[in-house]
Amino acid sequence: MKYCYEKELTKNPNLYGKVVVQFTIGGTGKVDEGHISQTEMNNEAVEGCIIRNVKMWVFPQPKGGGQVYVTYPFIFKSAGQ
């Protein structure tokens, strides 16, 4: 996530905000789907990068093989903010 943010921060030093990601962990532990549910940043490059990375994550398999629904907020700000 840090890479996604810092890459765009070099283009826009005033870039900051909260991005809320919702994703589903499938029975195998892999992320089946994910999307941005809320954003204060409104930067498609950062948000797209975040979703691409989340979809590569692998978690321990949920007990019973069901799905786990996750909502997670990321708050981005530069050291000077």
**Which tens digit of pLDDT belongs to each residue from 37-67?**
999 999 999 999 999 999 999 999 998 879 9
Residue 73 tokens read as 């907020």
> For residues 19 and 46, is the Cβ–Cβ distance under 8 A?
yes
- Given a cut of 70, whether residue 19 has pLDDT beyond it is yes
Residues with Cβ within 8 Å of residue 28, at least 6 apart in sequence: 61
Q: What is the pLDDT of residue 46?
A: 97
- The DSSP 8-state label assigned to residue 56 in this structure reads T
Q: How far is CA 5 from CA 36, 69, 72, 73, 77, in A?
A: 15, 24, 16, 14, 9
- The DSSP 8-state label assigned to residue 55 in this structure reads T
Q: What is the value of pTM for the model shown?
A: 0.88
How much is the average pLDDT of 15-34?
96
pLDDT band per the 50, 70, 90 thresholds, residue 80? low
